Amino acid sequence: MLMTFSKRHNFSKTPPITIRTDAPNGLRYAVVQNAYDCGPSYSAIRSVVCRVLLDAPDPNSWTEIPNIRDEVLQHIRFCDWFKVYDVAEALLSYIETTQGYASAVQYSNSMNDFFIGAGIGWQFAPNEGIVYRGDETFDVATAEAAKALSVTGRKNAANEIEEAIRDISRRPDPDITGAVTHSMAAVECVAQDILGSKQTLGQMVGALNLPKPLDEAVSKLYGFASQHGRHVSEQSRPAPEDAELLVQISCAICTYLAKRASPN
């Protein structure tokens, strides 16, 4: 398939993320059309959609186009917003099983292109389904942390970062307190590994020999996480933007500590 004009000439822009708890009509159409472009028939797509939505197919729809196609679009047009993302994940799995890995990559890439172009704060991630998409600095920070922790063999900290991202990615409601708790737990794991200690992060900050005022910042972040993550109340529940910021900062601190402690 010939690349589009904009891709051939690298004309693109990245709109700000404005959509997280919605599935606009364009997305609902893209989920189906992009799947169809990867090989499955509308009948096959209907089977997947009906299974996810637990909605019976119309026995009077026989022809692929326009009847079954329009029925599929009807199903997905009126379902709950978060079910649209469930359908997209189910279609990716179906495409990989029936059409092969290359077609699955085509589907996930085309959907990610749409997410970015439409300002939607979600993305397909390898082996994880649809996960939270932050701005560029968020994505860079989380990717860099995953790499640094993997290279230095700090699996527990890497798992905590993964859990934090998984919590903030939950639909329809993100687990904000879980994201806060796991992100700071990742920093705590790295600190414990570096110092050979089982103390809490709050107790270890002084021993990490962090430059000022980074030591105070880490201590205050730990206090924030304790208050809003571990001892949450209706009055202290953080906003999703707060959790995103804390995950991003935690990733940056993990990366810094891991690289500083590495002999290479």
Domain-wise residue ranges, the chain? 13-132, 136-261
- pLDDT at position 240 is 83
Residue pair 141/24 in contact (Cβ under 8 Å)? The answer is: no
Tens of each residue's pLDDT in the chain, 264 residues? 566 777 666 666 778 999 999 999 999 999 999 999 999 999 999 999 999 999 999 999 999 999 999 999 999 999 999 999 999 999 999 999 999 999 999 999 999 999 999 999 999 999 899 999 988 889 889 989 988 998 889 999 999 999 999 999 999 988 988 999 999 999 999 999 999 999 999 999 999 999 988 899 999 988 888 877 655 555 566 788 888 999 999 999 999 999 998 765
Collapse the DSSP code of 125 into the 3-class scheme (helix H, G, I; strand E, B; otherwise coil) and give the result.
strand
Q: Of 212, 222, 15, which is closest to residue 113 (Cα–Cα)?
A: 15
Label residues 145-155 b or e (16+ Cβ within 10 Å = b): bbebbeebebe
Lookup: tokens for 86: 């469930």
Q: How many other CB atoms sit within 10 Å of the CB of residue 86?
A: 17
The alpha carbons of the chain give a radius of gyration, in whole angstroms, of 22
Neighbour-count burial of 126, counting CB atoms closer than 10 A to its CB (0-12 exposed, 13-18 middle, 19+ buried): exposed
**Total number of residues shown for the chain:** 264
CATH, domain 136-261, list 1.20.120, 3.30.70, 1.10.3470, 3.40.50? 1.20.120
pTM beyond 0.85: no
